[in-house]
Structure 1
Amino acid sequence: MCVGIPLQLTKVVGTNALAHDGSQIDLSLVGPQPEGTWVLGFLGTARAVIDAEEAHLIAKALDGLRDVMTGGDGGDAFADIDARGPQLPPHLQAALDAGRITG
């Protein structure tokens, strides 16, 4: 399984960047970005540009997963998901609303 990591770009040269954690990031999929931009990185490649709030929520969830994997309870790492309840991806919600699938 591949897990996306939120990374803030500290140095950008064309489609190559250095992230705050020292990792090298390929920006080919998202195009050149200004320094300070947050991206969601997968195996050294930025797959999406995200905002600071989303980066924080993802980092918090990853911390919660680490906690659970070491026997903890995860704390409030998923409070944002708990507060809104389950949601279908937009394409599945549209299919459900149109009666093409059943819940």
Structure 2
Amino acid sequence: MHRPLYEVKAEFFKTLGHPVRIRILELLSERDHSVGEILPEVAVEAANLSQHLAVLRRSGLVTSRKTGATVVYALTSPQVADLLRVARSILTEVLDVRVEQLSDLRPGT
């Protein structure tokens, strides 16, 4: 069964819709990380981190490889890091506009 592209995109953005997953992707945008390196950066239980990593793996955003007893995660594409940079840029612009609007509301301006 063929799903419309907008539905597939919505599923993609749902995958990105959790702060822990965004933080994981930000870390992996810098370099590959082991689970042990990611864990203290996301402040969740190991089992919870494992679930988030599994969601990201199933969605095709990250890949994993085993090095001895260590599992190392990486982005599947540098475009994931690009997407995060674009999102940051959009948010910065939106917030700049809101700050400007707030300053217009202040008395004496």
TM-score range, shorter chain: 0.3 to 0.5
Higher CA-based Rg: 2
More strand by share: 1
Structure in which a larger fraction of residues adopt helix: 2
TM-score, normalised with respect to structure 1: 0.36
Q: Greater RCO between the two (CA within 8 Å, min separation 6)?
A: 2
| TM-score with structure 2 setting the length | 0.35
